[in-house]
Structure 1
């Protein structure tokens, strides 16, 4: 997720079908795309400069959500080409395998304080 765009990827854990979409970072658009997927849906993203507003929006919408630290993710060996689409697919695969380490999303007050 970046300030200007989001590459979303999902894997249907029963059928193995992959879904990819480039979205704007609008929370309603991301939630709408997520709701259009066959359920149950679990969302995950690499924590970064966009902060945790999306996490709070997803929680308010009643969906399951995880933020993960990029430094704690396994990276494929020999993979030097880094693209948003590859990262999104890799993150979806790790989530499917239960190989992600969740980090706690801070409250609004904690996030604002330096």
Structure 2
């Protein structure tokens, strides 16, 4: 759950875009938001941009890790205010969709290789050794 900070206080929210949008709408305007790029993608950045709220998606690999005393949000707010937040560009919907497709295809390819290896190892443990040439042919699969 992201911890959101503002000059008026702090609030812990879930990752639901609508909940974040409602909270940001209640802040004194103009408001600005920063969050770390991660698994949630860029839906929040696009929604905030559409609503006219400045949003910076921070590059986690380029950020210093503050002490674990709950001050990370304040430190990021200061960096945002000073225009020193290391940011990444939010990809377009088409770019993000292409990236998801490539990642998904790669995941499936790796999963298939793991399963093939497991089956081969199981067969080897059972004493079934293929001696008919390549192991990736129709004859082998049959």
Give the TM-score, by structure 1 length: 0.75
1:1-114 to 2 correspondences below 5 Å: 5-11=1-7, 18-76=8-66, 79=67, 81=68, 85-113=70-98, 114=102
Higher relative strand content: 1
Give the TM-score, by structure 2 length: 0.62
The answer to which structure, 1 or 2, has the higher relative contact order (CA under 8 A, 6+ apart) is: 1
Runs of 4+ in 1 over 6 A off after TM superposition: none
Residues matched between the structures, number? 99
Structure 2 unaligned regions, length at least 5: 103-142
CA drift at 1:112: 2.2
- What SS does structure 1 have at the residue aligned with 2:12? strand
Structure 1 unaligned regions, length at least 5: 12-17
Q: Once superposed, what is the RMSD of the aligned Cα atoms?
A: 1.8
CA drift at 1:61: 1.3
